[in-house]
Amino acid sequence: MIRLEHIAKSFGGTPVLEDISLDLAPGTSLAVLGRSGTGKSVLAQITLGLLAPDAGRVLVEGAPLTRRTHRAFMARTGVLFQGAALFDSLTIWENVAFRLLNGPNRRSRSTAREAALEALARVDLAPRVADLHPADLSGGMQKRAGLARAIMGAPEFLVFDEPNSGLDPVTAREIDALIRTLVSDLGATAMTITHDMAGVRAIADTVMLLDEGRVRWQGPVAKIDTAEDGLLSRFLAR
Ligand SMILES: Nc1ncnc2c1ncn2[C@@H]1O[C@H](COP(=O)(O)OP(=O)(O)OP(=O)(O)O)[C@@H](O)[C@H]1O
Ligand SMILES: [Mg+2]
């Protein structure tokens, strides 16, 4: 269980998040919706402990996420940052296996490569892709590689920031389906940030709509069509 309590964050005196509280129940998949610039990525970074809130706190299984507990938390967490963010100078398999090649539980290169090939297969990337560099891949393939890296080591928590932005609709739907399968297979607790309603329906159990620094609407995905919220309706209409 990840719990956010009364999170607030400003930049240069401009409030971005004001009093956000949220429970991520074990094994559930949350979609975070909101207009561009509403602070979705900021919220993800605070949830991951990569950015300190001005007020409020993040609890992981009841214990505050602090500088001391952060490393252990990240070892249990898979992340896909907005824009995939692969290391250009590393091959795809080295990117995917980054955790195994560098972490405290470092493995041999051959073991790490084996694990990377398995993760690549799970995201439908052919073994030949392993030795290419990120620049050699299409945008959709880079997202898949990013997902493979996120699921390395079967993490308990997953955070995906716009996993299907900039993709054609067919590839976007494939990525959505893949995320749902990965979350189900891993039994992971997931937070996915997206603008995309088809993605929300495919991925989420619960939905949160952020607006003007606050939680504007929150509820089960089955309720989004009957929710009486003007902004949510506008997202649905797109
Ligand atoms: N490190 C930072 N320093 C200053 N301002 C920041 C920083 N990070 C984010 N912001 C500001 O916070 C606001 C929210 O940014 P954020 O990236 O979270 O938006 P978003 O909802 O993810 O948007 P998008 O849908 O376009 O990705 C923006 O106004 C942004 O400029
Ligand atoms: Mg963002």
Summarize pLDDT for 48-61 with one digit per residue, the tens: 999 999 999 999 99
Q: Which two tokens stand for residue 210?
A: 């952020």
Confidence of residue 116 (pLDDT cuts 50, 70, 90): very high
Is pLDDT at 152 greater than 80 in this prediction? yes
Q: Whose C-alpha lies nearest to ligand 1, atom 18?
A: 39
**Amino acid letter, 172:** A
The CA 23 to ligand 1 mean position distance, Å, reads 22
Three-state DSSP state, 62: coil
As a whole number of angstroms, the distance between CA 204 and CA 193 comes to: 10
Which pLDDT score, from 0 to 100, does residue 56 have?
A: 97
Nearest atom in ligand 1 to the alpha carbon of residue 39 is 18
Which residue of 42, 211, 231 sits with most ligand 1 atoms within 8 Å of its CB, as the best mutation to test the pocket?
42
pLDDT band at 235 (very low <50, low <70, confident <90, very high): confident
Q: What average pLDDT is seen over the chain?
A: 91
Residue 164: pLDDT band with limits 50, 70, 90:
confident
Task: Report the pLDDT averaged over residues 185-190.
Answer: 89
Tokens encoding 170:
């067919």
Residues within 6 Å of ligand 1 by CB = 11, 16, 34, 36-42, 82
- Per-residue pLDDT, 83: 75
Neighbours of 79 (CB within 10 A): 20
Mean pLDDT in residue range 23-48: 94
102 pLDDT band, cuts 50/70/90, is confident
Whether the full predicted model's pTM is greater than 0.85, yes or no, is: yes
The answer on pLDDT for 15 being more than 90 is yes
169: pLDDT strictly greater than 90: no
Nearest CA to ligand 1 atom 1: 11
Residue of 10 and 169 predicted with greater confidence: 10
Q: Which among 41, 165, 216 is the best mutation to test ligand 1's pocket, defined by most ligand atoms within 8 Å of the CB?
A: 41
As a whole number, mean pLDDT of residues 92-121 equals 91
Give the number of the atom of ligand 1 that is nearest the alpha carbon of residue 9: 12
Q: Summarize pLDDT for 64-93 with one digit per residue, the tens.
A: 998 888 988 998 999 998 876 899 999 999
Is pLDDT at 62 greater than 80 in this prediction?
yes
Q: Which domains, and CATH codes, for the chain? A: 2-76+155-237 (3.40.50.300), 88-154 (no CATH)
Outline where DSSP puts E strands in 70-195.
Answer: 77-80, 157-161, 189-193
pLDDT of residue 23: 94
Query: What integer is the mean pLDDT of 92-101?
Result: 93
CA distance 103 to 100: 6
Query: CA-CA distance, 86 to 149, in Å (whole number)?
Result: 9
Distance CA 152, CA 174 (A): 19
> Is 168's pLDDT higher than 90?
no
- Nearest Cα residue to atom 10 of ligand 1: 11
Question: Which spans in 7-85 are helix H?
Answer: 40-47, 67-75
What residue type is 125 in one-letter code? L
Amino acid at site 158: L
Cβ distance 235 to 209 under 8 Å?
A: yes
- Cα–ligand 1 centroid distance for 4 (angstroms): 19
